[in-house]
Structure 1
Amino acid sequence: MFPRGRGRAAVSQYVARQTTRPGKNISIHDNNCCKTISLNLGLDSDDLAFFEELKKMYNMVKRSPPVVSKLEQYFGACADPYEQTLRLLNNCQDFFNAKNKSLPIFIAEEFRHWSRSRRDRIAHLLVPQIKLDAFKLITKQNFQGLTKLVFDSYEMAQHPHVFVDCLRCLIENKQYKEACQYATMLNLHGEFGVDDFLVPLVLQDKLYSVDEFLAGSPRHQVELVQFLDSALSQMSVGDTMNPYIEEKGIPDVKYDKVHSKPWKKLVTRFAKMFKLPADLTPNLNKKRNEGALKFLIHKRFTENTFSDESWKEMVQEAVGDDESLQKEVVQLVAQYGEFREALWWARHYDVDKSGWPYGVRLLDENKLEEAVQASPLVDDWDSEPANKIEYHKLRLADDRVVLVDTADKFRGVVDTGFQNADLVGIDCEWKPSFGSQLNELALMQISTRESVFVLDVVNLAGRESRSWETLGRDLFNNCDILKLGFSLTSDFHMIQHALPELNFSNARAGFLDLCSLWKHLDKFPKVVLPNEVQGGGPSLSTLVQACLGRPLDKSEQFSNWENRPLRQSQVLYAALDAYCLIEVYDVLKRCCEHADCPFYEICDSLLTSERAAKKKPKKTSGKKRQHREDDVAQPPGPHAAPVQADELKVVCDTMLQGLGKNLRRCGIDTAILENHQDHQQCVKYHATEHRYILTRKGPFKTLSGRVPSGHCLKIVSDDVDEQLQEVLDYYRVSVTKDHVLSRCQVCNGKSFTEMPQSTMLALYDGATAAPPRYVPACYYEDESTGFTSDEDFDEDAPGHSSTAAPTSTDVGSRQTRFGATIKVDQIPRPVILKYDAFYVCDDCGKVYYDGSHYGRLLNGRLQGIVH
């Protein structure tokens, strides 16, 4: 197993052990020994005449019966068809630039078909030397389709060790990608260690080949994750890995990835992809918990959005048994001047007094122990402030909130709880996750007008299958009961994963998302909600305040929902989140009725939008029916495991420009065709930049036929938010907070320069001598599309963009380090005076700043998408 050492020493020990592993045939090759082919690849006069005739016929009629018959007759007349096929391939003009419908592919495909049907008669010709010559020839070109055909026809995987020396020669020549691909195709996993080509490919950010190799070797999955995790044991990943890079002489290293934050994402990615246990990544776990602790303390002492109980349980969840984190929580709490609380934690974890902050030791020496024990958490917000917020309360008696945590209670609720219901509210709760562990559904609340049933999923999941099936049939898949929710996507995913017995229909029969309804009602200016709310974003709390006058108290939201028994405050919080959906629905209906707005028609359109495509088409003429039958079906997606948003590259057709902007907001590398460009340009983007194509129904048939299966996605929905979800689901994309707004929305760039306010003022004053124009107050928030610097409270985060560099701008030239003009004139002077820091896109000069847009995205359009 991998040594659990520290940092650079652990990496060095691992490399030393791998390179001296007994039984490995490690030899030094020159540049030609694995490229020299023993076979004469020239064609004699008769063969050349045949080949010229074959080319003419193929250029005229392509893959037609006469061409196939002519080639098969030639194979049958050859003394050694294996040798002769290699000669034909080598003499094709486009052999080194083969494509799907080129002559080399045709020859290779026909030979594979012909040789399989006659294997018994020609198998004796398939000697190791001809396999080796075939390998050396086919690896001179890079089209994987042709390579796989030859590997298959010459049965190379049956004698893979013939090629080990060739692969080692590729490694010594730094051709890591090719060595990895061929080792995967030949199932030679056992011949190589992780440092032969896996770690170099990771450092070069060529993860696709790594993923394919690891899929066939659990041993390498473990060893690579342990190797990468060891580099997190020190403060700087670069200090640990740079000596390794120099020692191995690895070229083309992506040094922007050799930092703590992207390195942690990388380790997390592999651990999740291959479902590895958490104990394999001790350093990642520690880093995660450190970041989580800082996040919790910020929420407690800066945002004041924690109840005492939630604060305690979440800190203990993050700190665990780690003594260094136990000391750190005391230090961090004391930094906020909360010495009483810091003393409580010091005693709770029995931290050695030598590590106590001065203020905590002073408090202890003043003999205030009784006061501390009587009130361990003394905070400013525990007193009654003059402007205390009044929150919306549950308007049901306590006995109408039913915690369903036993089998008997569950059966009773399923049998009688929803007999007369035609309207319910549904919400879910799960424990926040800071590390690589997946979130698990803990509670599901179902509210009627008379009662709220809080289902304890932790205790009931996997039990009472018949009751879950009944609940699915009678409620979830019952179109006669209207089911309300808010931003339902994440709840749907959690429910379907945790409760398969529900047989939850993908049609989501009878579900109305109040968030979608709220957005839709913006199209009707006459519909005015009872209360005006400033800011807050499109959250449920904001909608409740707009409809019912007071916001929701979210102090219990960030709780450990898996702890049992549940606190009464948790149960009431969960119940209100479901019951308020019904209250909001009633208010929205009344407002629409007062404005003479067709409320039920709007709701019905939102309910049926996902089912509309599944309705049977009306009968029409035979010509039109034939056109629908000729439509190309969407093949399965190309990814077997989730991919990170910054690993996906796409190009959007001209009809999907709005989707392209949304994808950029998620941190996805997105090219967007302009209105004047033909959709065939998508194919060029795919060929040159390896981008997946996103298009609509019209061009899909043409474009999908020109790229591999799954590399072209037909977008079905007309709604931009639903289009985004289609892309994320099809390509299995995982979006985190680090990805959001990490790319320029104008040019797709990912490199930014951070500039202080003083530099921006100097640029602004130099750019225009005109007096500052009048700007409405609301302009600032509407135009702010900037980053945030505290989204995860990680010590490695200089700002939302991890690639933001310190300013080195020449104020006189007003240009970025890449030569783009800084568009400072697009930012009003009052905005510059409002913010301390700005971020300039190095590629196009667009200026961004810390505004509310980031929070609005997370709580609105990207709610339920960002993990």
Structure 2
Amino acid sequence: MDPKELKPLNIQFVSSTDSAEFSRLEWAMNRSSVVGLDAEWKPHRSQQSSYPFVSLLQIACRIDCTPSDVDGHGDGDEEVEDNDLLVFLLDLLAVPLPSIWELLRDMFVSPDILKLGFRFKQDLIYLSSTFHSQGCAPGFDRIEPFLDITSIYDHLQRKQPGRKLSKETKSLSTICEEVLGISLSKELQCSDWSHRPLTEEQKLYAAADAHCLLKIFSVFQGKIDKEGNSLHDTTPLHSPIAILGLKQIFEKPDVCVNVFSLKFGEASDMVRATAYFEIHQRNYSVVGSISKPSHRKTIPLDESLSKIVQKYGGKILLKDSDKKPRNSKKKGKKQSSVNLSCRERRVENSSDWQGPPPWDLSLGGDGCPKFLCDVMVEGLAKHLRCVGIDAAVPCLKKPEPRQLIDQAQKEKRVILTRDAKLLRHDYLIRNQVYRVKTLLKNDQLLEVIETFRLNISEDQLMSRCTKCNGRFIQKPLTTEEAIAAAKGFQVIPNCLFNKNLEFWQCTDCNQLYWEGTQYHNAVQKFIDVCKLNE
């Protein structure tokens, strides 16, 4: 399930140190043995002389709750639903950075908290620069103990007999799909995170990225426990639901709506949280308008986690050179400002389609719209196929720009991309590339339809194979024909045989489709998206 398709959840968005959300964040940090970290910033050009300003810091906390922390009673073995996994979005554009610098620094270096991240060194560099620019010298210089999700993934791969380790570095979305059985949408990765207010989709996207780090670690810890590398007879760190993958959690109707929600609504919960602070004597000294904790106390790692840290843990250390942006210096002749300005104008002008497209009859085309969607808009390709438009993807997994352009020219297609660099190549043919401006797939579909003046009718919906872009066999298959076609290739649920459904088969990949609930829901979705009823 795509996290962004979930209904908006009660994510804890921290925009003030005086807010209840910030108090919950402090409480959670003092009760967490494991946290997942991620950061978001506005995309920038690599030639900039300064690092981007981090707009949002995501902190997913795994709370070491006992039942008494949650409901005041219990024998230690009860489920606490998902209360022990809390996600906070820290708005660095709203919160005064000096007021939280010490809180974050203590968490980054606390030996009692295992920090998780995915290639987090770059995030830490930008985060350190952001705080340094706001008077918090020297920013941040290290995180320990730290465990990268890629290391966890590599370990899990080694434990699968007969499986070769891939030399290619996996994306977080790919790791989630393989380990948890879910696919994280990365549509909003390049959105403007400096713009406020953030949309609900942005908040859910940011929270899911940090939340899945804890879920992947739970799978990893479960494997370690089974292998006997952790101490026996130790108290579990978290409830049984905490080791479920995101897919299973999202499928539980009584849990789905609370994946990221907090149960601090009752006054008794707040009283217990306050009592916890009093028990641990959290004293504050005030300097001007900035509150700083004089000392912080966390719960030491239990022996099971300590062994994981000792065997697999590491740390991130920043050097002085890491804190200074490097200007890219390419060998060869320097380009004049005139050439650069011409190139920039060409990129800007190429973003606006002026036509005609290569499939135009006046250019020798067949009059049928055809597109080639690069890796940045693969989701758009499936949406185009759903409305009956020919939308191919590159023949090669990682094509060079010239190979992508050659394929488009040979097949008389327009390349759809969000990569501005692709527009700078000198060997581009006029009107061969269109740069998609919007981020969400539905918006991208509407943008392409309007830009190229595509005629979409209800009869076209679901007329192409979403898997390979092939056309369907015009005559529907009978149940007997579908069973024969699916034999040894595709499983057809037995419950469909008594429903007198029509089956359709792709002429290219032989994939079978039928007009079930999923089909009708998809048709209605694209009727709404394309505004065919208006």
Taking structure 1 as the reference length, the TM-score comes to 0.25
Which of 1 and 2 has greater Rg? Answer: 1
More helix by share: 1
